[in-house]
Amino acid sequence: MKKIFSMASSCITPLGFGTAATFQAVQAGQSALRPHWFDFSDESFCAATIDETPLTTHFTALGYAAHQYSKLEQMSIMALRDVQAQFSEPLTGPDTLLVYCSTKGNIAHLASGTEQPVAPALYLSHLARTVARACGFAHTPLVLSNACISSLQGVLVAKRLLSTGLYRHVVVVGADEVSKFTLSGFHCFNALSRQPCLPFDAARTGINLGDAAVALVLTTAPATSAEAVEVVAGSSTNDAHHISAPSRTGEGLYQAITRTLRQADDDTVDFIGAHGTATRYNDEMEAQAFHRAGLQEVPLHSLKGYFGHTLGAAGLLEAVMGIESMRHQELIVSKGYETCGTTLPVRPVLQRGPARLRRFLKTSSGFGGCNAAVLFATTA
């Protein structure tokens, strides 16, 4: 089997434009969650949004006309242009594929009423083509929409497509934005937290939403730097249990984790990037799955306290932050955690600090009962 390496990344988040700026803000303990008011409630809800003014300024400086692109398109193009500038080979040839992952894309632009024509940009494949064209990709992009595991599943899809030998490089993008569409939906589920979310904590009351676009270059080209990270193994599963409630036993996630670790020659895990949405049921389900997999003593973090839940972008954003954690040999604090709030205890990271970090397990779960796990490892 060909080895697959991750070589360059970019995170466009409220905490920074670029992976380095975003990671630095996280390690400085900054959170992007702020109270926002929406017209469906008198109360405010925390969300992590990117201000349009700095976004547009940055985007325009890349040579684009901002009015021709939606906010999500601007974020996605910025992430892609950043990785294209970093990577040693051009990513615009026939040996490169773009895999674009999003749950709702440009849904904020959906007009009400069935009679009105739907704007082409509302179709995910149209959105992905707009982004791909702006960045000069040769092929029509592949679009994946698998709820909250979308972009982590995108890494798995990329690994498989690279294994076929059809492509030499695959660029995975995960992108979603805060919209009234998704906010009002999670609100009617009673899943939104007014305060900054508290993953795995006893006082957790729900999720916050956030904006993010993230790009990661995966390649079969030989790792040229000691900083390259290998995508060792991965797996996705379905709970086959309920379309919106996670499995009580964590069965699907447990299966995804054990299948991933079985594929790897070495099943050591130095830390876990959990999904940790801060809903009662999700965090409880994850704790069950980590225990069943024998990983209850492994340090873990949820990054939702920094970025909120960025839906289809979350898996890739959190994978990239975990990769940075390995590169810097420094644990990330699981922001918002104080008191154990799951039936079976897990070990959220309480203090930033140096640690020997070589192998990182990233997990995600989503509506539709889907779960994904991917194991990353340093090559040095």
Partner 1 sequence: METSITATCAIRGRQIFLNGTLLFEAPEDTAADLSDFLIAGYRHFGVSYPKFFKMDVLSKLAFLTAELLLPKAGLQDRLRPADIGVVLTNRSSSLLTDVVHQQSIAEPASHFPSPAVFVYTLPNIAIGEISIRHQLTGENSLFVTESFEPAMLVPYVSQLLAEKSCQACLCGWLEAGLTGHEAFFYLVENHASPAPTPRPHRVPDVELLYSQPHYS
Contact window for partner 1 (CB under 8 A) among 52-60, 86-94, 113-121, 317-325: 113-121
Which three-class secondary structure string do you get for 102-114? CCCCCHHHCCCCC
One residue of 53, 114, 343, 351 binding partner 1 per CB under 8 A: 114
Number of residues forming the site for partner 1 (CB under 8 A): 58
- Whole-angstrom distance, CA of residue 66 vs CA of residue 78: 12
Tell me which residues in 35-54 interact with partner 1 (CB under 8 A). Answer: 39-40
Q: Does residue number 328 form part of the binding site for partner 1 (CB under 8 A)?
A: no
Which residue bears the tokens 């632009």?
109
Q: Does residue number 163 form part of the binding site for partner 1 (CB under 8 A)?
A: yes
One residue of 145, 205, 220, 249 binding partner 1 per CB under 8 A: 145
Query: Quick one: tokens of 325?
Result: 């954690």
Q: What long-range pairs does 325-330 form, CB within 8 A, spacing at least 24?
A: 325/271, 325/357, 325/360, 326/229, 326/270, 326/357, 326/358, 326/360, 326/376, 326/378, 327/227, 327/229, 327/378, 328/23, 328/27, 329/354, 329/355, 329/356, 329/357, 330/27, 330/354, 330/355, 330/357
- Alpha carbon separation from 308 to 107, 197, 355 (Å, rounded): 19, 7, 26
One residue of 2, 68, 85, 241 binding partner 1 per CB under 8 A: 241
One residue of 9, 13, 84, 146 binding partner 1 per CB under 8 A: 146
One residue of 207, 232, 278, 370 binding partner 1 per CB under 8 A: 370
Residue 326 has φ and ψ, to the nearest 5°, of -70, -45
One residue of 34, 58, 180, 328 binding partner 1 per CB under 8 A: 180
Per-residue mark of binding to partner 1, 185-214 (x: CB under 8 A)? xxxxx-------------------------
**Could you tell me if 295 and 320 are in contact, meaning their C-beta atoms sit under 8 angstroms apart?**
no
One residue of 28, 65, 226, 240 binding partner 1 per CB under 8 A: 240
Site residues for partner 1 per CB under 8 A:
1, 39-40, 103-105, 107, 110-114, 118, 122-125, 128, 140, 142-147, 153, 157, 160-161, 163-164, 166, 180-181, 184-189, 235-244, 251-252, 255, 366-370
